[in-house]
Chains A and B, each alone.
Chain A
């Protein structure tokens, strides 16, 4: 018998082996032979829930859900993606109506695309009435607006994002700084609340720029904001203009709620952008290239005295030089606000504050067509019930969304590492932001990625000096109108915007 194998035999055998392997791979997995019925304590024995989210949601939090998996017998198949990647994948799944995972962590912006198109399941009645979920404890703006679409709650309360201002109270406390600032600007530094208007913010920024107040040998800067195109400039800019553009008597901010016309080239936004560009001289060189992470790093390293962001907790992480030195406040306001209805600026005796629910948070939703629906809801409940929600918040895995998250400074001091002063101002800032009557909601209408890109481009062009703020925002408004036309026209998007605001 010859031991030689011809090339043809080799091809034939390898092809057969490949075919058998493929057939085997296509087979449904054989269910394990059960020796008896599953014990009642393991109700999801043999069921696998697929979940999609970011690494921070699943990797460092394992101790918080491993016991649950063990007790229920549930298998968890997690796919983790970075923030931008999961957003892209979710939106592609939405667009092509394809299955992505049972349990989804969705960016708040995508609510209209996912919930509005019936691609996720409403939260079941029994979960809405479940005492462990304590829905009354969820901040009303989330329960009634952010987690809902057309009055139906689709999102489980997980992450609550707001933009607030961080400032180093250690600098404002310094008697020399106080005396010098008062001498220069004619009013006192406010170590408790920081600058209260954008004009004051400019003064503070100017005062703390160009000298070494941190003692590291290098000159420091007044502030850092997220300005990088393709990163988080959309939210940075939106939050910079709210005080000018959000009139207390008008629910619209990005669009006119009656016509659906974009407002991003109104005098309010032009003023915000003009001032933002001018204030870049009080930020680190290259601030136009700074994204959200860069702002955190600059703040933690005491290179800047103030910032606007989501990340009070990050200031108190190990290695942060800002720990114990930072306080928080709602976004600065303005004594002047633009009235889009009359087309006039209004001077007010009280400061017009318009806090920003920027980004709005990552909400947990169950996809329509989830294979193990009950198991997926059980896991979602485990992640978002009151007790676990508090734990996630205090350990810094998500931002507060519940009243109980921001009710007491003690866990923030003992678990999150805040000082009492920092915790007090942090919780005050969050509370004042999320309960404010003139709060600006995060934009949630279909096609939000294109609106975001167009606005970020205009802002970046103006900041880079490629176009004037007015011209660049006019271009952006034209681009927004063109996007609206491509997505069904102004009436359709106006209706979506009104639904987003909870008006219809």
Chain B
């Protein structure tokens, strides 16, 4: 007992203070944390609170000499009752609701194929990840402006050569919604591939070996072993990609400008148009909080589903 207590004494003191360094550990920890804390307050918490406060005012940047008045929930009410915002909200939900499952299914399929591949595995891994390395604006130019050009673009040229009618990729409101999703799927499926491939390669081999011994088919091994074990990875991938998709703006802004009409305008683009370009800080702030609420609901739903269906540990 005596030996034990004397052995602990210097260790405990070393946690409190190292005389040779002069700075107590507790203070030194705070010094280390301080830059990150300042950064979080300055870049996250302050804008968060500032935007919230702005949403309760009538602040318009281009009404330069006018006073800024507190108007309570009036701006929130005008956002929530705005048919403009209703349309962009549905557009955003449609985009996420279609792009995310497509990217999920395609990503998992390609990852399974790559995981099982015995030939050219490295090449195809890099090949499938390449879209993730492109700038979204370059993707828009490559796919939207060149490939999908409606009059003389190569895709319509091929399709019409095969006897199909001309597809109005960007000019028909319904088709434009799909086109935006397709461009996003082209670029961001790579992220899902990356996540699922990493997940598949980290799975324990024992359950698969046991299943083979028990005579399980490949489909059964996927259905009853791979899929449940990939749950945590799938959850992470859906959350990251889903939250990112809610904020989509670059593809839409450069490909359709939100049109035709309002067919492809997302909430983020509305916030950018009204708050940043238009100077209507109050409306833009309230609209950005609407987006935040949407994303919070999405996150809650994913977490709820996870708790119900996903096995979190092996």
List 7 interface pairs A-B (beta carbons < 8 Å), by A numbering.
A92-B276, A97-B64, A285-B166, A287-B171, A450-B279, A460-B260, A487-B60
Contact partner, B280, options A94, A117, A231, A450, Cβ 8 Å: A450
Give the complex CA separation of A255 and B277 in angstroms: 22
Residues of B within 8 A of A55 (CB): none
- Which B residues between 220 and 247 are near A, CB-CB below 8 angstroms? none
Q: For the complex formed, measure the closest distance between the CB of A106 and the CB atoms of chain B, giving whole angstroms.
A: 15
Q: Write the chain B residue with the least CB distance to A11.
A: B32
Q: Is the CB of A460 within 8 A of B261?
A: yes
- Which B residues between 231 and 277 are near A, CB-CB below 8 angstroms? 253, 256-263, 273-274, 276-277
Residues of B within 8 A of A288 (CB): 171, 259-260
B181 lies within 8 A of chain A by Cβ: no
Q: Is the CB of B259 within 8 A of A95?
A: no
Q: For the complex formed, measure the closest distance between the CB of A456 and the CB atoms of chain B, giving whole angstroms.
A: 8
The chain A residues found within 8 Å of chain B, CB to CB, are 8, 11, 88, 91-92, 94-97, 113, 117, 218, 228-231, 284-289, 303, 446-447, 449-450, 453, 457, 460-467, 486-488
Contact code string B14-45 (vs A, CB < 8 Å = 1, else 0): 00000001000000100010000000000000
Residues of B within 8 A of A488 (CB): 63, 66
Give the complex CA separation of A487 and B60 in angstroms: 7
Give the complex CA separation of A461 and B257 in angstroms: 13
Residues of B within 8 A of A92 (CB): 61, 276
Starting from the known contacts A285-B166, A488-B63, 19 additional A-B residue pairs (CB-CB under 8 Å) come to A88-B276, A92-B276, A95-B61, A95-B279, A228-B257, A229-B258, A229-B260, A229-B261, A230-B256, A284-B150, A287-B171, A289-B170, A303-B152, A449-B278, A449-B279, A453-B277, A464-B172, A464-B260, A464-B261
Residues of B within 8 A of A457 (CB): 258-259, 261-262
Give the complex CA separation of A285 and B173 in angstroms: 14
Give the complex CA separation of A465 and B259 in angstroms: 12
Give the complex CA separation of A464 and B173 in angstroms: 7
Contact partner, A218, options B21, B32, B152, B253, Cβ 8 Å: B152
Q: For the complex formed, measure the closest distance between the CB of A302 and the CB atoms of chain B, giving whole angstroms.
A: 12
Q: Is the CB of B259 within 8 A of A464?
A: yes
Q: Write the chain A residue with the least CB distance to B256.
A: A289
Q: Is the CB of A289 within 8 A of B171?
A: yes
- Which B residues between 89 and 121 are near A, CB-CB below 8 angstroms? none
- Which B residues between 270 and 293 are near A, CB-CB below 8 angstroms? 273-274, 276-280
Residues of B within 8 A of A487 (CB): 60, 62-63
Q: Write the chain B residue with the least CB distance to A298.
A: B151
Q: Write the chain A residue with the least CB distance to B21.
A: A8
Give the complex CA separation of A97 and B279 in angstroms: 13
Q: Is the CB of A303 within 8 A of B151?
A: yes
Q: For the complex formed, measure the closest distance between the CB of B253 and the CB atoms of chain A, giving whole angstroms.
A: 7
Give the complex CA separation of A488 and B65 in angstroms: 10
Give the complex CA separation of A291 and B258 in angstroms: 13
Give the complex CA separation of A94 and B60 in angstroms: 12
Contact code string B140-176 (vs A, CB < 8 Å = 1, else 0): 0000000001111000000000000010111111000
Q: For the complex formed, measure the closest distance between the CB of B2 and the CB atoms of chain A, giving whole angstroms.
A: 32
Residues of A within 8 A of B184 (CB): none
The chain B residues found within 8 Å of chain A, CB to CB, are 21, 28, 32, 58, 60-66, 149-152, 166, 168-173, 253, 256-263, 273-274, 276-280
Q: Write the chain B residue with the least CB distance to A280.
A: B171
Contact partner, B151, options A8, A285, A461, Cβ 8 Å: A285
Q: Is the CB of B277 within 8 A of A91?
A: yes
Q: Is the CB of A460 within 8 A of B171?
A: no
Contact partner, A286, options B28, B62, B171, Cβ 8 Å: B171
Q: Write the chain B residue with the least CB distance to A451.
A: B278
Q: Is the CB of A486 within 8 A of B151?
A: no
Q: Is the CB of B277 within 8 A of A466?
A: no
Residues of B within 8 A of A464 (CB): 171-173, 259-261, 263
Give the complex CA separation of A285 and B253 in angstroms: 21
Residues of B within 8 A of A465 (CB): 173
Q: Is the CB of B261 within 8 A of A467?
A: yes
Residues of A within 8 A of B276 (CB): 88, 92
Q: Which of B58, B171, B262 has the most CB of A within 10 A?
A: B171
Q: Is the CB of A230 within 8 A of B150?
A: no
Residues of B within 8 A of A228 (CB): 257, 259
Q: Is the CB of B262 within 8 A of A230?
A: no
Residues of A within 8 A of B260 (CB): 229, 288-289, 460-461, 463-464, 466
Q: Is the CB of B280 within 8 A of A466?
A: no
Contact partner, B257, options A11, A231, A466, Cβ 8 Å: A231
Contact partner, B173, options A96, A449, A466, A486, Cβ 8 Å: A466
Residues of A within 8 A of B63 (CB): 446-447, 486-488
Residues of B within 8 A of A11 (CB): 32
Q: Write the chain B residue with the least CB distance to A487.
A: B63
- Are A229 and B58 also in contact (CB < 8 A) when A289-B150, A447-B278 are? no
Give the complex CA separation of A60 and B2 in angstroms: 84
Residues of B within 8 A of A467 (CB): 261
Q: For the complex formed, measure the closest distance between the CB of B36 and the CB atoms of chain A, giving whole angstroms.
A: 14
Contact partner, A229, options B65, B66, B257, Cβ 8 Å: B257
Residues of B within 8 A of A462 (CB): 261
Q: Is the CB of A486 within 8 A of B259?
A: no
Give the complex CA separation of A91 and B281 in angstroms: 13
Q: For the complex formed, measure the closest distance between the CB of A441 and the CB atoms of chain B, giving whole angstroms.
A: 20
Q: Write the chain B residue with the least CB distance to A488.
A: B63
Q: Is the CB of A449 within 8 A of B261?
A: no
Give the complex CA separation of A467 and B166 in angstroms: 24
- Are A113 and B261 also in contact (CB < 8 A) when A285-B150, A466-B173 are? no
- Are A466 and B261 also in contact (CB < 8 A) when A117-B64, A289-B171 are? yes
Q: Is the CB of B259 within 8 A of A289?
A: yes
Q: Write the chain A residue with the least CB distance to B259.
A: A229
Contact partner, B171, options A285, A446, A447, Cβ 8 Å: A285
Q: Is the CB of A284 within 8 A of B151?
A: yes
Contact partner, B274, options A446, A450, A460, Cβ 8 Å: A450
Q: Is the CB of B60 within 8 A of A486?
A: yes
- Are A286 and B261 also in contact (CB < 8 A) when A88-B277, A447-B278 are? no
Contact partner, A96, options B61, B66, B170, B171, Cβ 8 Å: B61
Give the complex CA separation of A464 and B256 in angstroms: 12
Q: Write the chain B residue with the least CB distance to A293.
A: B145
Residues of B within 8 A of A286 (CB): 149-151, 168-171
Give the complex CA separation of A294 and B114 in angstroms: 41
Q: For the complex formed, measure the closest distance between the CB of B43 and the CB atoms of chain A, giving whole angstroms.
A: 18
Give the complex CA separation of A103 and B250 in angstroms: 30
Give the complex CA separation of A465 and B273 in angstroms: 23
Residues of A within 8 A of B62 (CB): 91, 94-95, 113, 446-447, 450, 487
Q: Is the CB of B152 within 8 A of A230?
A: no
Residues of A within 8 A of B64 (CB): 94-95, 97, 117, 446
Q: For the complex formed, measure the closest distance between the CB of A193 and the CB atoms of chain B, giving whole angstroms.
A: 28
Residues of B within 8 A of A231 (CB): 257
Give the complex CA separation of A464 and B172 in angstroms: 7
Residues of B within 8 A of A446 (CB): 62-64
Residues of A within 8 A of B173 (CB): 464-466
Residues of B within 8 A of A463 (CB): 260-261
Q: For the complex formed, measure the closest distance between the CB of A358 and the CB atoms of chain B, giving whole angstroms.
A: 18
Give the complex CA separation of A487 and B279 in angstroms: 10
Residues of A within 8 A of B169 (CB): 286
